[in-house]
């Protein structure tokens, strides 16, 4: 398992629209999921230890951000031929056991991950309501093996600022995780 870190935030970079399906085959258009005050797109997968360690926090932050008009979606772009644990069927099971109430979508041809420049799971992209990137950082200081509910909520704090001002914080700590499993 290679541990990767994404690039720092490219403030103002415009989101790319796409039509993706969830694990049950229901279609979603990314731009139609924008909240009144913003959108978080999280690239995750089912088998990554980093993602497993924050799964319930993803749901917590998605719930709390929804109250501020910020929508949340997750996308899995991993190669399911070589990583069958990340299959759409297993995405449904993972979402259910993690309590996800937000769309968890499958990027079968990996085009969305490539368009966004996603490199790891988890990799977070926080946009204002004009589809301008304002956050590219971590959820919190959780590591693959250590987590706590008392850690500062970096993503939540940043996206609260985006909801209020349209701008993300200048200081951001990169996310860290497993590499996306490319075909």
Q: From the centroid of its chain, how far is CA 149?
A: 19
Q: What's the pLDDT at 150?
A: 77
Q: What's the pLDDT at 76?
A: 98
The pLDDT tens digits of the residues spanning 81-105 come to: 999 999 999 999 999 999 999 999 9
Q: What's the pLDDT at 2?
A: 55
Q: What's the pLDDT at 127?
A: 98
Q: Which residues of the chain have pLDDT under 70?
A: 1-7, 143-148
Q: What's the pLDDT at 115?
A: 98
Is the link from the previous residue into 122 a cis peptide, with omega within 30 of 0?
Answer: yes
User: Residue 32 class from Cβ within 10 Å (0-12 exposed, 13-18 middle, 19+ buried)?
Assistant: exposed
Q: What's the pLDDT at 98?
A: 96
In 3-state terms, what secondary structure has residue 182?
coil
Q: What's the pLDDT at 6?
A: 66
Q: What's the pLDDT at 47?
A: 94
Q: What is the CATH number of domain 3-179?
A: 3.40.30.10
Q: What's the pLDDT at 142?
A: 74
């Amino acid at each position: 398992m290679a541990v990767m870190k994404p690039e720092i935030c490219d403030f103002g970079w415009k989101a790319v629209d796409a039509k993706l399906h969830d694990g049950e085959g229901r279609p979603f258009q990314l731009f139609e999921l924008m909240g009144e005050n913003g959108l978080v797109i999280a690239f995750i997968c089912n088998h990554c230890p980093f993602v497993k360690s924050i799964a319930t926090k993803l749901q917590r932050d998605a719930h709390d951000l929804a109250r501020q008009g910020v929508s949340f979606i997750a996308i899995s772009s991993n190669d399911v031929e070589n990583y069958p644990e990340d299959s759409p069927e297993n995405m449904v099971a993972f979402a259910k056991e993690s309590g996800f109430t937000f769309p968890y979508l499958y990027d079968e041809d990996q085009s969305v991950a490539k368009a966004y420049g996603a490199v790891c799971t988890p990799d977070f992209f926080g946009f204002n309501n004009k589809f301008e990137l304002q956050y590219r950082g971590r959820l919190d200081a959780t590591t693959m093996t250590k987590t706590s509910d008392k850690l500062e909520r970096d993503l939540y704090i940043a996206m609260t600022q985006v909801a209020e001002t349209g701008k993300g914080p200048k200081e951001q700590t990169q996310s860290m995780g497993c590499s996306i499993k490319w075909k």
